[in-house]
Amino acid sequence: MRLPVTAWASIAHRASGVFLFAGMAVLIWALDASLESPDSFAALGECLASPLAKLVIWAIMAGLIYHSVAGIKHLVMDFGIGESMEGGIRGVRIVVVVSVILILLAGVWIW
């Protein structure tokens, strides 16, 4: 069974939501560490300077970017725009292009 591209985009939107839920644990831990003490804040700064931490933060931001852009597409579709199959495919293409551009820009900003 071959799923249409719109189905894959919907599945990816749901998966990115689950990923963000898990990624929130990392972000809450970082917030807690940053507010604990000045020494803990400095240690967190050193930790976030490592390539692995930057990759994790970039992955969380990538999930947030895709989920947000796809969510905006769903809101637009709720207004009756792009509800046809052709409109849905065009919307998915726009979501992917905008997401890739924003994710790459986020990577440049982080690195």
pLDDT at 13 over 80: yes
- pLDDT, mean over the chain: 95
- Domain at 85, CATH number: 1.20.1300.10
The confidence band for 23, taking pLDDT boundaries of 50, 70 and 90, is very high
> What domain range includes position 91?
5-110
Longest dimension (CA), the chain: 56
Q: How many residues does the chain have?
A: 111
Q: CA-to-CA distance for 17 and 70, rounded, in angstroms?
A: 11
The number of folded domains in the chain is: 1
Q: CA-to-CA distance for 48 and 43, rounded, in angstroms?
A: 9
